[in-house]
Amino acid sequence: MQPKQQWVLHDTSSGTPKRVIVVETYDTHQVGGVSVARLRWTAKEDLGGDAKDASNVGAEDGPSFTHLAVTDRGLYILRENADDAAIAKQVQGKPSRPEPPRAFKGTKKNQGRFLNLHKQADGPVICVGYGPESDAAGCDSVCVAEMCLSPTKGVVQLSGKVTPDFGTFTQKGFKLE
């Protein structure tokens, strides 16, 4: 939730290694002592600083969330149009994802949303996303979208329905263990 953070995720699933997704924090501010940030998710061809065919892959309903607040109780997923008064009210309630994070499976009740925890050599990685519930019928194509983040490295991976060609985009040097 720091201002002007940037993470570059490289396409690791196709023959287009110059395709990237750039994740940036902008419009970071405090609301009653709570850190709030908007995130921009831009897919583009990496041409040495020039953006070719840039497109927004952020999604208010995730997992490439665009507006977030963080407290010591957890993460709050905010509506894109939430103003400071609405944010102040929302953070008085239950967080969208508690601290410490707890893994849960996608169910019909939570519309297939899930959270997975992965132990890594340099600390935990939290992956959130959505997919078909365990009792759902088969999927004709890609049905899952997932975003992974590390407390030390930030956004480390984005994959599935929210990425170009349903690919996997990962920070250089990162591998989910």
pLDDT in tens, 30-81: 999 999 999 999 998 765 555 556 788 898 888 999 999 999 999 999 999 9
pLDDT score, position 26: 92
Q: How far apart (Å, rounded) are the C-alpha atoms in residues 149 and 144?
A: 17
Structure tokens at 174: 């990162």
List, in sequence order, every beta strand (DSSP E) within the chain.
6-11, 19-31, 34-47, 50-56, 67-71, 74-77, 97-98, 113-118, 125-130, 145-150, 154-160, 168-170
Q: 5: burial class by Cβ within 10 Å (0-12, 13-18, 19+)?
A: middle
What residue segments make up the domains of the chain, in order of their start? Answer: 6-170
Residue ranges of the chain with per-residue pLDDT less than 70: 1, 16-17, 46-53, 133-142
pLDDT recorded at residue 49 = 56
Name the DSSP class of 88: H
Q: What is the pLDDT of residue 41?
A: 95
